[in-house]
Amino acid sequence: MTKRVSAKYKLDRRMGENVWGRAKSPINKREYGPGEHGQRRKGKMSDFGTQLRAKQKLKGYYANISEKKFRKYYQEADRRKGDTGENLVGILEQRLDAVVYRAKFVPTVFAARQLVNHGHVAVNGQKVDVPSFVVREGDVVEVRRKAHEIPMVIQAQQSNERDVPEYIQAEGLKATFLRVPSLDEVPYPVRMEPNLVVEFYSR
Protein backbone atom coordinates (compact mmCIF):
# COMPACT_ATOMS: atom_id res chain seq x y z
CA MET A 1 0.00 0.00 0.00
CA THR A 2 1.39 3.40 -0.98
CA LYS A 3 0.96 6.80 0.63
CA ARG A 4 -0.86 8.04 -2.46
CA VAL A 5 -3.99 6.04 -1.56
CA SER A 6 -4.70 8.34 1.38
CA ALA A 7 -3.78 11.57 -0.45
CA LYS A 8 -4.11 10.74 -4.13
CA TYR A 9 -5.63 14.03 -5.21
CA LYS A 10 -2.53 15.92 -4.04
CA LEU A 11 -1.04 14.76 -7.33
CA ASP A 12 -3.77 16.64 -9.21
CA ARG A 13 -3.04 19.86 -7.34
CA ARG A 14 0.73 19.49 -7.59
CA MET A 15 0.48 18.99 -11.35
CA GLY A 16 -2.26 21.59 -11.76
CA GLU A 17 -4.26 19.07 -13.79
CA ASN A 18 -7.14 16.65 -13.29
CA VAL A 19 -4.85 13.65 -13.83
CA TRP A 20 -7.58 10.98 -13.66
CA GLY A 21 -10.34 13.11 -15.18
CA ARG A 22 -12.60 12.70 -12.16
CA ALA A 23 -15.44 15.00 -11.14
CA LYS A 24 -14.26 14.74 -7.50
CA SER A 25 -10.82 16.19 -8.23
CA PRO A 26 -10.02 19.26 -6.06
CA ILE A 27 -8.35 20.91 -9.06
CA ASN A 28 -11.89 21.56 -10.32
CA LYS A 29 -12.28 23.98 -7.37
CA ARG A 30 -8.70 25.00 -6.47
CA GLU A 31 -6.26 25.36 -9.34
CA TYR A 32 -3.27 26.09 -7.12
CA GLY A 33 -0.94 23.54 -5.54
CA PRO A 34 -1.27 21.98 -2.07
CA GLY A 35 0.35 23.34 1.08
CA GLU A 36 1.01 26.81 2.44
CA HIS A 37 3.14 27.77 -0.57
CA GLY A 38 0.71 26.42 -3.16
CA GLN A 39 -0.49 29.84 -4.32
CA ARG A 40 2.96 31.25 -5.03
CA ARG A 41 3.68 32.26 -8.61
CA LYS A 42 5.61 29.59 -10.42
CA GLY A 43 8.77 30.47 -12.28
CA LYS A 44 10.02 28.89 -15.48
CA MET A 45 10.79 25.20 -15.00
CA SER A 46 14.19 23.76 -15.95
CA ASP A 47 14.54 20.87 -18.40
CA PHE A 48 15.22 18.56 -15.46
CA GLY A 49 12.11 19.85 -13.66
CA THR A 50 9.96 19.29 -16.75
CA GLN A 51 11.25 15.75 -17.13
CA LEU A 52 10.79 14.99 -13.43
CA ARG A 53 7.24 16.33 -13.56
CA ALA A 54 6.40 14.11 -16.54
CA LYS A 55 7.79 11.08 -14.71
CA GLN A 56 5.90 11.84 -11.49
CA LYS A 57 2.65 12.35 -13.39
CA LEU A 58 2.90 9.09 -15.34
CA LYS A 59 4.09 7.13 -12.28
CA GLY A 60 1.38 8.64 -10.09
CA TYR A 61 -1.37 7.95 -12.62
CA TYR A 62 -0.91 4.20 -12.18
CA ALA A 63 -1.64 4.37 -8.41
CA ASN A 64 1.83 5.68 -7.62
CA ILE A 65 4.05 2.80 -8.67
CA SER A 66 7.25 2.65 -6.61
CA GLU A 67 10.35 4.30 -8.06
CA LYS A 68 12.23 0.99 -8.09
CA LYS A 69 9.45 -0.73 -10.06
CA PHE A 70 8.99 2.18 -12.43
CA ARG A 71 12.69 2.28 -13.25
CA LYS A 72 12.55 -1.43 -14.03
CA TYR A 73 9.70 -0.75 -16.45
CA TYR A 74 11.80 1.92 -18.15
CA GLN A 75 14.76 -0.47 -18.45
CA GLU A 76 12.53 -3.14 -19.98
CA ALA A 77 11.03 -0.59 -22.40
CA ASP A 78 14.52 0.56 -23.40
CA ARG A 79 15.63 -3.04 -24.00
CA ARG A 80 12.77 -3.73 -26.42
CA LYS A 81 12.80 -2.74 -30.08
CA GLY A 82 10.95 0.39 -31.13
CA ASP A 83 10.19 3.68 -29.40
CA THR A 84 11.07 3.48 -25.69
CA GLY A 85 8.29 5.86 -24.63
CA GLU A 86 5.65 3.86 -26.52
CA ASN A 87 7.05 0.64 -25.07
CA LEU A 88 6.85 2.07 -21.55
CA VAL A 89 3.17 2.98 -21.91
CA GLY A 90 2.44 -0.48 -23.34
CA ILE A 91 4.13 -2.16 -20.35
CA LEU A 92 2.15 -0.03 -17.90
CA GLU A 93 -1.13 -0.84 -19.64
CA GLN A 94 -0.36 -4.56 -19.35
CA ARG A 95 -0.41 -4.39 -15.56
CA LEU A 96 -3.38 -6.32 -14.18
CA ASP A 97 -4.59 -3.38 -12.08
CA ALA A 98 -4.52 -1.15 -15.17
CA VAL A 99 -6.59 -3.67 -17.17
CA VAL A 100 -9.09 -3.98 -14.29
CA TYR A 101 -9.40 -0.17 -14.26
CA ARG A 102 -9.67 0.16 -18.05
CA ALA A 103 -12.38 -2.54 -18.15
CA LYS A 104 -14.47 -0.41 -15.74
CA PHE A 105 -14.64 -3.08 -13.06
CA VAL A 106 -13.92 -0.32 -10.49
CA PRO A 107 -14.05 3.51 -10.52
CA THR A 108 -10.34 4.26 -9.88
CA VAL A 109 -6.94 2.70 -10.46
CA PHE A 110 -6.43 2.70 -6.67
CA ALA A 111 -9.60 0.64 -6.29
CA ALA A 112 -8.31 -1.67 -9.02
CA ARG A 113 -5.13 -2.34 -7.07
CA GLN A 114 -7.19 -3.02 -3.93
CA LEU A 115 -9.55 -5.38 -5.78
CA VAL A 116 -6.62 -7.41 -7.11
CA ASN A 117 -4.78 -7.41 -3.76
CA HIS A 118 -7.85 -8.83 -2.03
CA GLY A 119 -8.04 -11.78 -4.44
CA HIS A 120 -11.22 -10.70 -6.25
CA VAL A 121 -9.78 -10.99 -9.78
CA ALA A 122 -9.04 -14.02 -11.96
CA VAL A 123 -6.97 -14.28 -15.15
CA ASN A 124 -7.89 -17.15 -17.46
CA GLY A 125 -9.88 -18.69 -14.60
CA GLN A 126 -7.06 -18.55 -12.04
CA LYS A 127 -7.07 -16.17 -9.06
CA VAL A 128 -4.30 -13.55 -9.27
CA ASP A 129 -3.64 -11.17 -6.37
CA VAL A 130 -0.57 -9.36 -7.74
CA PRO A 131 -1.47 -5.93 -9.23
CA SER A 132 1.71 -5.84 -11.35
CA PHE A 133 0.91 -9.21 -12.98
CA VAL A 134 1.55 -8.89 -16.74
CA VAL A 135 -1.57 -9.47 -18.84
CA ARG A 136 -0.87 -10.91 -22.30
CA GLU A 137 -2.81 -10.58 -25.54
CA GLY A 138 -5.85 -12.85 -25.44
CA ASP A 139 -5.93 -13.17 -21.63
CA VAL A 140 -9.38 -13.09 -20.06
CA VAL A 141 -9.67 -11.01 -16.89
CA GLU A 142 -12.77 -11.21 -14.72
CA VAL A 143 -14.12 -10.25 -11.31
CA ARG A 144 -14.70 -13.38 -9.24
CA ARG A 145 -18.31 -14.10 -8.36
CA LYS A 146 -18.02 -13.32 -4.65
CA ALA A 147 -17.05 -9.73 -5.51
CA HIS A 148 -19.93 -8.99 -7.89
CA GLU A 149 -21.95 -7.26 -5.15
CA ILE A 150 -19.14 -5.01 -3.86
CA PRO A 151 -20.54 -1.43 -3.97
CA MET A 152 -17.57 0.08 -5.86
CA VAL A 153 -17.87 -2.64 -8.54
CA ILE A 154 -21.57 -1.94 -8.99
CA GLN A 155 -20.87 1.81 -9.04
CA ALA A 156 -18.24 1.47 -11.77
CA GLN A 157 -20.54 -0.63 -13.96
CA GLN A 158 -23.24 2.03 -13.77
CA SER A 159 -20.93 5.00 -14.29
CA ASN A 160 -20.72 6.99 -17.53
CA GLU A 161 -17.54 8.79 -16.42
CA ARG A 162 -15.33 6.97 -18.95
CA ASP A 163 -15.44 4.37 -21.74
CA VAL A 164 -13.64 1.06 -22.21
CA PRO A 165 -10.81 1.53 -24.76
CA GLU A 166 -10.76 -0.45 -28.02
CA TYR A 167 -7.83 -2.66 -27.00
CA ILE A 168 -10.00 -4.26 -24.31
CA GLN A 169 -13.21 -6.15 -25.07
CA ALA A 170 -15.41 -5.98 -21.99
CA GLU A 171 -18.74 -7.61 -21.32
CA GLY A 172 -20.05 -7.08 -17.81
CA LEU A 173 -17.42 -8.19 -15.32
CA LYS A 174 -15.34 -10.12 -17.84
CA ALA A 175 -12.84 -8.59 -20.28
CA THR A 176 -10.37 -9.80 -22.89
CA PHE A 177 -7.09 -7.96 -23.39
CA LEU A 178 -6.90 -7.77 -27.18
CA ARG A 179 -3.55 -6.09 -27.75
CA VAL A 180 -0.87 -3.87 -26.28
CA PRO A 181 -1.95 -0.30 -27.10
CA SER A 182 0.01 2.54 -28.61
CA LEU A 183 0.25 5.86 -26.75
CA ASP A 184 -2.46 7.39 -28.97
CA GLU A 185 -4.93 4.66 -28.00
CA VAL A 186 -4.60 5.06 -24.24
CA PRO A 187 -7.42 7.31 -22.92
CA TYR A 188 -5.39 9.55 -20.61
CA PRO A 189 -7.53 12.51 -19.46
CA VAL A 190 -4.41 14.71 -19.58
CA ARG A 191 -1.38 14.79 -21.84
CA MET A 192 1.25 12.26 -20.86
CA GLU A 193 4.79 12.71 -22.17
CA PRO A 194 6.66 9.41 -21.95
CA ASN A 195 9.38 10.87 -24.19
CA LEU A 196 10.31 13.21 -21.31
CA VAL A 197 10.36 10.25 -18.92
CA VAL A 198 12.84 8.56 -21.26
CA GLU A 199 14.97 11.73 -21.27
CA PHE A 200 14.87 11.79 -17.46
CA TYR A 201 16.18 8.25 -17.09
CA SER A 202 18.68 8.45 -19.94
CA ARG A 203 20.51 11.48 -18.56
DSSP alpha helices (H): ranges in 80-150?
84-93, 96-102, 109-117
The pLDDT score that the predictor gives to residue 125 is 97
Strand ranges across the sheet with 140-143: 126-127, 121-123, 140-143, 174-177, 168-171
Number of other residues whose CB lies within 10 A of the CB of residue 108: 17
Segment 76-114, tens digit of pLDDT: 999 999 999 999 999 999 999 999 999 999 999 999 999
Segment 104-121, tens digit of pLDDT: 999 999 999 999 999 999
CA dist., res. 60 & res. 152, Å (int): 21
Backbone angles phi, psi at 121, to 5 degrees: -125, 140
Side chain identity, residue 146: K
Residues 59/150, Cβ–Cβ less than 8 Å: no
CA dist., res. 70 & res. 75, Å (int): 9
- Return the sign of the alpha-carbon dihedral for residues 146, 148, 152, 153: positive
pLDDT band of 1, cuts 50, 70, 90: very low
Number of other residues whose CB lies within 10 A of the CB of residue 120: 22
Element (H, E) at 68: helix 67-79
Rg over alpha carbons for the chain, rounded to the nearest Å, is 17
pTM (global) more than 0.85: no
User: DSSP character for 168?
Assistant: E
